[in-house]
Amino acid sequence: MSTAQQTPARPTNGLSAPPGPELIPAEDLQRRIAELGREITADYAGRRPLLVGVLKGAFMFMSDLIRQIDLPVELDFMATSSYGDSTKTSGVVRILKDLDADLADRDVLLVEDIVDSGLTLAYLRDLLLARGPASLQVCALLVRQGSRPSAADLRYVGFEIPEEFVIGYGLDLAERYRNLPCICVYDESAAGGAPNSGG
């Protein structure tokens, strides 16, 4: 697991001044994802894992990750919500889209964009384990410092990040900034105020 450190933001994807400092450059993301892909390939050799992506935030991570896994894989997706349009988790997890696949006797790898309080992860682990998979592991791109999950809950981790709200590479604020190729710390003053859901 790598620890992210802030650097000045670079102009990118039509945002002449991204709203906050760059935390993880695009090249560092791709380097770490390639490493995770190699680890998963070795650990699941001879098996066909089912990767479950948590929408919407994990879609870019999962897309890049599967291209680094040298195995036959299957994909499915869930959508959850615990943030709404806020920078703070509400503490309530809602399932917006459930899985199509049957998990019974499958080797399941849950792919998360970020583990924050650990509430969503704990809820999803319990939900998926109740469906009888042969195994269930978690791959998280980002883990916030001070989050509650134990090391046993997180088999694969990309980066540990500070306790700040981050955007980019699939992560949003009120549906904005997902298309940034890097991870940035959100600075409301640099963004000219918090966007609303209609923005």
Catalytic residue numbers, as ranges: 116
Q: What are phi and psi of 62, to 5 degrees?
A: -65, -40
User: What does the chain come to in residues?
Assistant: 199
Helix axes 59-66, 26-43, angle to 10 degrees: 60
Supply 60's token pair: 């870019």
- Amino acid type, 72: P
What is the distance between the alpha carbons of residues 22 and 4, in angstroms, rounded to a whole number? 10
Cβ(137)–Cβ(157) below 8 Å: no
Residue 52 and residue 28 in contact, taking contact as beta carbons nearer than 8 Å: no
| 190 contacts: CB under 8 Å, gap ≥ 6 | 17, 18, 19, 20
In angstroms, rounded to a whole number, what is the distance separating the alpha carbons of residues 182 and 67? 18
Sheet of strand 183-185: strand arrangement:
22-24, 183-185, 166-167
The alpha carbon of residue 125 and the mean position of all alpha carbons in its chain are separated, in whole angstroms, by: 15
